[in-house]
C-alpha cells in the first residue's frame, strides 16, 4: 500500500506572507515614483517580497531552469510534427547549447537542468545526472491504455518532489519550469479538458511547430478518446496522472507542490506546465499563490488552465517553442521588479510646517486702562 498522502500538501503549503506584502505596499507608497507607475511590476515586487518574507525584497540572483523530459506513446498516432520517441534528440540539443532555451540561458547567465523521466532511448546515451530519476522508457498510449502503472506514477511524483528539494537545498531562489517532450501538448490538453469539463476541440492547440489541419483532427480524436478514460478517475489525482498523464507530467506536478511547500517561486512556461499546475491546484488549493505564468504560448489549453487558476501571463509575444524558452523570457521582468522594489529611494521626509496664523491685519479694538479719555467739550 502506498504511503503517499496527497492531502498532506494542503496542510503543508502556506500562502505567501500577507503581513510582509502589506509592508512592501507601504514601502512602495513612500518611494519617489508614485505607486502604479510601473504597472504590474509593482505587484510583482510585492508578490516577491511576500514569497521571500522580506522587505525590502531580495534580488533574484540564483534562478534556474528545470526541464522535465519524456516521450509519450500517444505521439505514435501522428499528433505531433515531431516523430514519436524523438524527445531525446531535443534533450541532447539542449545540453549541447543549441536550443532556444540554451541560447537565452547563456545570455541571462541561468543554469539549465534537464531531468529525464521517460525518454524513449537507452539511458546510457545521456549523462548520468540527467537520467538518474528515470521511471520508465516512454509512457503508454493514453487513448487506449494507462500512461503509467500506479507504482510508476507514485515514483515519478516522488521524483519531482525530490528534485524540488534538491533545488531549494542548493539555494535556488526561483525556478523557470518547462518540459522537453513529444506528445506532451496532447497529454496536457486531456488533463485541462478533464479538469475544466470542456470538449477536446476547445483545448487542443497546434503545438510548437504549428501542425496542419489533418494532424490537428487526429490530435482532437486522441484527446477525445483519452478523455473517456480520464473522467472516471477525476477524483483521484494520482490515478488521473497514471491514466492519462506521463512520468514527466507526474514529476512536474510533484515538483510544483513541493516548491510551494519549500516557498520557492516558480515561473510556468507553456501548456504542459500549466496543465500540471492545474492538477496540483486540485491537490492543494493554496499552491498557485507561489507560481507566475511566464507567457501566453497561444495554446488554448494553457489559456483555459491559467484562467481557472486566476494566473495572468506576464508576456504575450506568441512564443510557442516550449522547452522553457517563453518562461525564461519573463525572468528579467521579475528581476527588474525586485530591483525597483528594493533599490528605488524613498521620498525624503518633509519638515514639519509651523501652524498657520493667518495674514496680519489691523489690530482689533481693545479697551486699555492707560488710554486717555477724550476731553469734554467746553460749555
Q: Which residues are catalytic?
A: 323
Give me the long-range contacts of 16-23 (CB less than 8 A, separation at least 24). Answer: 16/47, 16/50, 16/51, 16/53, 16/263, 16/289, 16/290, 17/50, 17/53, 18/50, 20/49, 20/50, 20/52, 20/53, 20/54, 20/55, 21/46, 21/47, 21/49, 21/50, 23/49, 23/55
Give the whole-angstrom CA distance, residue 152 versus residue 158: 10
Q: 294 pairs with which residues across the strands?
A: none
Q: 114 pairs with which residues across the strands?
A: 67
Give 108's Cβ-side CA count (13 Å radius). 27
Nearest to 241 by CA among 136, 153, 139: 153
Query: Do residues 104 and 329 lie in contact, with contact meaning Cβ atoms separated by under 8 Å?
Result: yes
Amino acid at each position: 500500500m502506498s504511503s503517499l498522502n496527497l492531502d498532506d500538501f494542503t496542510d503543508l503549503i502556506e500562502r505567501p506572507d500577507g503581513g510582509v506584502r502589506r509592508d512592501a505596499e507601504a514601502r512602495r507608497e513612500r518611494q519617489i515614483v508614485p505607486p502604479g507607475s510601473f504597472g504590474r511590476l509593482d505587484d510583482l515586487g510585492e508578490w516577491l517580497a511576500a514569497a521571500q518574507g522580506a522587505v525590502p525584497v531580495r534580488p533574484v540572483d540564483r534562478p534556474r531552469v528545470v526541464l522535465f523530459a519524456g516521450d509519450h506513446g500517444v505521439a505514435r498516432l501522428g499528433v505531433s510534427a515531431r516523430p514519436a520517441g524523438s524527445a531525446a534528440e531535443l534533450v541532447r540539443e539542449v545540453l549541447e547549447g543549441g536550443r532556444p532555451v540554451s541560447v537565452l540561458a547563456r545570455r541571462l547567465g541561468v543554469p539549465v537542468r534537464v531531468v529525464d523521466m521517460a525518454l524513449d532511448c537507452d539511458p546510457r546515451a545521456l549523462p548520468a545526472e540527467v537520467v538518474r530519476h528515470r521511471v520508465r522508457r516512454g509512457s503508454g498510449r493514453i487513448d487506449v491504455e494507462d500512461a503509467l502503472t500506479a507504482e510508476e506514477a507514485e515514483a515519478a511524483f516522488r521524483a519531482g518532489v525530490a528534485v524540488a528539494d534538491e533545488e531549494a537545498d542548493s539555494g535556488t531562489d526561483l525556478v523557470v519550469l518547462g518540459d522537453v517532450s513529444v506528445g506532451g501538448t496532447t497529454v496536457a490538453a486531456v488533463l485541462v479538458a478533464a479538469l475544466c469539463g470542456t470538449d477536446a476541440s476547445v483545448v487542443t492547440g497546434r503545438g510548437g511547430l504549428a501542425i496542419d489541419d489533418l494532424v490537428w483532427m487526429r490530435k482532437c480524436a486522441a484527446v477525445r478518446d483519452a478523455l473517456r478514460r480520464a473522467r472516471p478517475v477525476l477524483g483521484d489525482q494520482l490515478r488521473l496522472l497514471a491514466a492519462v498523464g506521463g512520468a514527466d507530467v507526474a514529476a512536474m506536478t510533484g515538483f510544483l507542490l513541493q516548491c510551494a511547500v519549500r516557498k520557492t517561486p516558480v515561473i510556468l512556461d507553456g501548456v504542459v506546465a500549466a496543465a500540471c499546475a492545474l492538477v496540483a491546484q486540485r491537490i492543494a488549493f493554496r499552491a498557485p499563490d507561489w507560481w507566475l505564468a511566464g507567457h501566453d504560448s497561444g495554446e488554448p489549453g494553457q489559456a483555459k488552465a491559467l484562467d481557472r487558476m486566476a494566473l495572468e501571463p506576464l508576456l504575450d509575444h506568441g512564443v510557442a517553442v516550449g522547452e522553457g524558452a517563453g518562461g525564461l523570457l519573463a525572468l528579467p521582468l521579475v528581476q527588474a521588479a525586485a530591483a525597483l522594489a528594493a533599490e528605488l529611494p524613498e521620498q525624503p521626509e518633509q519638515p514639519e510646517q509651523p501652524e498657520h496664523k493667518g495674514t496680519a491685519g489691523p489690530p482689533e479694538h481693545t479697551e486699555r486702562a492707560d488710554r486717555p479719555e477724550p476731553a469734554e467739550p467746553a460749555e
